[in-house]
Structure 1
Amino acid sequence: MPTTTELFTEHRKLLFSVAYRMLGSVADAEDAVQDSWLRWSAVDLSVVDHPKAYLVKVVTTTALNRLRAARARRESYVGPWLPEPLLTGPDVAEEVEMAESVSLAMLVVLETLGPDERAVFVLREVFGYPHAKIAEALDKPEATVRQLAHRARSHVQARRPRFETDRARQREATDRFLAATLDGDVESLMAVLAPDVTLITDGGGRITAARNPVSGADKVARFLLGVSSRPWHGVDLSELRYDEAELNGAPALVVYLHGKPVSTIAVEVADGRITAVRMVANPEKLTHLPEREDLA
């Protein structure tokens, strides 16, 4: 019979996946998983019929509590709030539905749901849990869970972003975007930006960033070219290094200064053109990204 530790290790990846999609924060998700371990380690396995279901219930409850507390903090957040970028691998990107569910665009939409609706949506739409099992996990009547699921699904579908599934087109658009921005080539930049593109920068009050979204190809291009033509917080741009990465299930860029990540740039692509640019520069949201000696 598997031990408490072995069972937890077996399901740890799933627990983090649930917590991250509910919280949009790597640090908070890791804390939720750790809290779940503390509760799980004190359980008598002889009274647990289904360890996986039990663990999902524990992490969901823990994440819900953290989400309610986080929502109060985010109301006073300086500037736009974006999820913490998550390094992902090809296994996520190859599954279109899983890649979309962890995308920054989808996490931004999930942020507009109430805590219970978000929990139900994640468990039902992402991980395929039946309503009855979700009702058990949330200690709610199944009828209530069905209502929450319907509201959440309708809400998300109305705001679901366009999603480019061709990874080659995603990477090509990302590369064209970076090259045009660094070269100051306004014509090439305008060619890769969709007319209704939106740019959001998250500095959290720690790093200078736009306090409001920038919308429209012309305004976004002028903003990016302005940023790329002057020192970045006193640092000459020639000292920055750009590394291709897999973030939230899609090709993206991590910006390094002396080997330390200082920003991430994720773009949303549809029909070969960029419809959204999301830049995270709040240093508190980058601590989980690895340093790179070769990019120092």
Structure 2
Amino acid sequence: MKRSVAQLETVFQQYKSLLFSIAYHMLGSVMDAEDCVQEAFLQWYASEEKETIENPKAYLCTLVTRRCIDRLRSAQTQRETYFGLWLPEPLIETTDPSEHSELNESLSLAFLLLLERLSPIERAVFLLRQVFDYDYAEIAAIVGKSAENCRQILHRARRHLPARPTHTPAPHAGQWQVFTQFFQALMNGNMEGLLQVLSDEIMLYSDGGGKVRTVPHPLYGPDQVAHSLLGIQQNVFDVIKVAIRPTVINGQPGLIGYLEERLDEKPGRSQERERKENSKTPGVWYQRVFKKGEVIFAMGLAYADTQIQEIDIIVNPEKLRHIPALAASDNGTIVC
């Protein structure tokens, strides 16, 4: 029996969260994931016009996964020529917990970055099996391989990963305590306080995409990372005022920074002068004029016991567009 438009919409809403979760884990991009899900819905809708799909969940998951595999194949060439380090787009906790309910145990930014080592088909098989708990017969139908071939692909994918990505646990009191110590030390410029919460194996990655100045290579070790963080704190906060909001990023406590005061609004500093200075210093934080309330960075943290083991700083404006600007009524921010 042919489904009505209302029934199609109901079915789609039922699986939308799952579809987005698969797409985001595959692509590491919120906006691309949303596009894939919407394209899958339109294709399913067109197919339903001809004949009723008996298992819409399996059909939609197949559409989304195959679209993601195709996108990853195209993206690999682009990422090879990407300026500096490439990081996934941060997924910010939404006000509606049901919106991305399948991501309550999302992979962290650190683990999504690890998955970049896999080929598109390896990533699809790995995620469908390890994260979404599909059996091999289901995976085979989705990716168009035999079940035995999928077993071999999964085995190969595991060999390519230095550690097996696992579900990120929901933020707990211990993580928030470590985060609070980290945040206070960073805001106060307290080197000793930072060193207390940074793991000996701490790594810092930053992604500006060539549009905003960042360190173009990873930083390792607590001393190097702490000095870099304090350098950012001093250099950036001396130039612009930032409203910082603690939030949950990819399932773990992190930070979002919003522009509080525009550079061109400072007395004696014209936009023309700003442009001239920027042309002499490409890649600076204020390469373009940001709008008040616009997101200028997201900082994701990965935790190990009572310490932080990885820090991911995303400042590429294109990867922050999906994050809503700061609302005037938001009282959860701290102005620096």
Q: Is structure 2 residue 315 aligned with structure 1 residue 281? A: yes
1:115 aligns with 2:132: no
CA distance in 2, matches of 1:142, 1:132: 5
Whether the aligned pair in 2 keeps the contact of 1:98 and 1:126 (CA below 8 Å) is no
1:168 aligned partner, one-letter code: A
Q: Which residue of 1 aligns with 2:281?
A: none
Partner-residue secondary structure (3-state), 1:230:
helix
Change (3 A) 1:56 1:85: same
2:279 is the alignment partner of 1:245: no
1:214 matches 2:194: no
1:99-133 deviation per Cα after TM superposition (whole angstroms, max 9, x unaligned): 55421111011111110010011111111111011
Q: How many residues align?
A: 290
Q: Which residue of the partner structure matches residue 265 of structure 2?
A: none
- The equivalent of 2:295 in structure 1 is 261
The letter for the 1-side match of 2:255 is L
CA deviation profile, 1:218-265 (whole Å, cap 9, x unmatched)? 111111111111235x833xx101101111111111011132111011
SS at match of 1:228: helix
Contact 1:162 1:270 in 2 (8 A): no
Q: Answer whether contact 2:131 2:167 (CA < 8 A) is retained.
A: no
Say what the alpha-carbon RMSD is for the aligned residues: 2.4
Pair 164,186 (structure 1): closer, same or farther in 2 beyond 3 Å:
farther
In 2: Cα distance, 1:55 partner to 1:163 partner: 25
Shift of 1:6: 2.3
Alpha carbons 2:105, 2:169 under 8 Å: kept: no
How far apart, CA to CA, are the structure 1 residues paired with 2:195 and 2:169? 19
Question: Using the alignment, how far apart are the partners of 2:67 and 2:248 within structure 1?
Answer: 28
The structural deviation recorded for 1:160 is 4.2
State the alpha-carbon separation in 2 of the partners of residues 165 and 260 from structure 1. Answer: 28
| Unpaired runs of at least 5, structure 2 | 260-291
| 1:21-36 aligned within 5 A | 21-36=25-40
1:270 aligns with 304
**Contact conserved, 1:36 with 1:55, CA < 8 A, in 2?**
yes
Larger Cα Rg: Structure 1 or Structure 2? 2
Give, as a single letter, the amino acid of the residue that structure 1 aligns with 2:34.
Answer: E
TM-score, length-scaled by structure 1: 0.90
Q: How does 1:174-253 map to 2 (within 5 A)?
A: 174-231=179-236, 235-236=239-240, 239-253=241-255
Q: What SS is found at the alignment partner of 1:42? A: helix
Measure how far apart 1:75 and its partner are: 0.6
Identity level (%): 40
Contact 2:21 2:103 (C-alpha < 8 Å) held by counterparts: no
Shift of residue 293 of structure 1?
2.5
Deviates more, 1:127-136 or 1:169-178: 169-178
CA contact (8 A) 2:122 2:153 kept: yes
Task: After TM superposition, give the deviation of residue 25 of structure 1 in Å.
Answer: 0.3
TM-score, L = length of structure 2: 0.80
Which amino acid counterpart does residue 136 of structure 2 have in structure 1? H
Deviating runs (4+, > 4 A) in structure 1? 89-92, 97-101, 159-166
Q: Which has the higher helix share?
A: 1
> Partner residue of 1:131?
136
In the alignment, the residues of structure 2 paired with residue 212 and residue 163 of structure 1 have an alpha-carbon distance, to the nearest angstrom, of 26
Q: Does 1:150 align with 2:184?
A: no
Once residues 88 and 250 of structure 1 are traced to their aligned partners in structure 2, the CA distance between those partners, rounded to angstroms, is 9
Q: Quick check: 1:197–1:217 contact (8 Å CA) kept in 2? A: yes
- Superposition deviation, residue 163 in structure 1: 6.5
What CA distance in whole angstroms lies between the structure 1 residues aligned with 2:135 and 2:168? Answer: 26
Which residue of 20, 23, 31 corresponds with 2:24? 20
